[in-house]
């Protein structure tokens, strides 16, 4: 099994504060300092990377931000627009990594938003509609960085757009602006096919919640595919996920980003997995009742 990336280190709180102070002093106006502050309570944190590394944490724990920092620091390909705010590069410059001097060609960041982008492209081809997705994504990036004050009801429509851009991902913003439902295979089968066709041998992939849109069966199929990709086809995978099927990937190193500081933890000990386990234990009697009823009807 292959490791192209050996470790990734996030800066300490002190280094972040020093670098942010210098960056702010060079600018006359700023609204937010993302991604500074996302990992503000952490000391310098070094993540040792394995052939499969899982990033776990609740909403706001920094899973996606960490993947985006890795992708930028390593110069990986990516498709979907992401939150690259004014101070993003300043934070990237503080991060350190060890591994091969150059990542294999074609190594990439893959997200669930990419699946939606594919569906948009398919709709354009099948229906001859120019969705102008790139123009909407450029508008999304501009709106995210805007400050806006409502002066009259005439400004209300623009204010709604600003709020939508700041609250949603790029694909969610495009979906909202386009309206309507996408035709075609806009289901788990399409999402699974995207990842299985995009991941090829001998590369590093950062996957951001690839389980989105996938049923439990398809999540298990994706898990088997990813295990085989790492074991037999020299892929290295870093995955941000909530899915128990992906958290339980064989041989994966699971980092709990909710812990202070983040630490490796068996997937069964993660708080969310404990919650699921408690839920199913509480309802175990219902399965037993179902078995008895089925037995009596035979």
In this prediction, residue 157 carries a pLDDT of 65
In this prediction, residue 292 carries a pLDDT of 67
Does the structure show a pLDDT above 80 at 270?
A: yes
**How far is Cα 136 from Cα 170, in angstroms, rounded to an integer?**
9
In this prediction, residue 233 carries a pLDDT of 93
Report cis status (omega within 30 of 0) of the bond before 3. no
Segment 43-57 mean pLDDT: 94
Which residues are paired to 97 by β-bridges?
8
- Tens-digit pLDDT profile for residues 174-211: 766 665 444 445 467 888 888 998 999 999 999 999 99
Percentage of the chain beyond pLDDT 70 is: 78
- Tens-digit pLDDT profile for residues 133-166: 667 777 777 777 666 555 554 555 666 777 777 7
The rounded mean pLDDT for the chain is 83
In this prediction, residue 225 carries a pLDDT of 95
Low-confidence winner among 22-36, 128-142, 217-231, 252-266 (lowest mean pLDDT): 128-142
Does the structure show a pLDDT above 80 at 96?
A: yes
Does the structure show a pLDDT above 70 at 257?
A: yes
Percentage of the chain beyond pLDDT 90 is: 44
In this prediction, residue 163 carries a pLDDT of 72
Does the structure show a pLDDT above 60 at 130?
A: no
Half-sphere exposure of 21 (CA within 13 A, CB side): 6
Residue ranges covered by each domain of the chain: 116-178
Q: What is the pTM of this model?
A: 0.76
Segment 220-246 mean pLDDT: 95
In this prediction, residue 254 carries a pLDDT of 97
């Amino acid at each position: 099994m292959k490791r192209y990336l050996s470790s990734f280190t996030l800066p300490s709180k002190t280094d972040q504060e020093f670098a942010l102070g210098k960056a702010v002093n060079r600018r006359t106006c700023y609204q937010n300092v993302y991604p500074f502050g996302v990992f503000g309570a952490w000391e310098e944190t070094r993540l040792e990377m394995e052939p499969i590394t899982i990033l776990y944490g609740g909403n706001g724990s920094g899973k996606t931000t960490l993947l985006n920092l890795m992708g930028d620091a390593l110069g990986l390909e990516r498709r979907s627009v992401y939150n690259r705010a004014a101070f993003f590069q300043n934070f990237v410059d503080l991060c350190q990594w060890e591994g091969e001097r150059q990542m294999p060609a074609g190594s990439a960041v893959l997200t669930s938003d990419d699946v939606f982008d594919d569906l948009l492209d398919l709709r354009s081809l099948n229906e001859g509609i120019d969705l102008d997705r790139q123009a909407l994504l450029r508008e999304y990036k501009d709106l995210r960085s805007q400050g806006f004050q409502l002066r009259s009801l005439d400004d209300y429509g623009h204010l709604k757009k600003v709020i939508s851009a700041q609250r949603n991902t790029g694909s969610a913003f495009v979906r909202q602006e386009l309206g309507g439902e996408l035709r075609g295979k806009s289901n788990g089968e399409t999402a699974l096919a995207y990842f299985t066709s995009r991941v090829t041998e001998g590369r590093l992939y950062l996957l951001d919640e690839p389980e989105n849109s996938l049923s439990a069966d398809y999540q298990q199929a994706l898990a088997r595919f990813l295990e085989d990709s790492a074991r037999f086809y020299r892929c290295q995978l870093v995955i941000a996920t909530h899915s128990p099927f992906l958290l339980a990937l064989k041989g994966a190193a699971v980092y709990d980003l909710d812990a202070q500081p983040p630490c490796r933890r068996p997937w069964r000990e993660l708080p969310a997995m404990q919650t699921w386990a408690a839920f199913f234990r509480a309802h175990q009697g219902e399965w037993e009742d179902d078995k008895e009823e089925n037995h009596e009807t035979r």
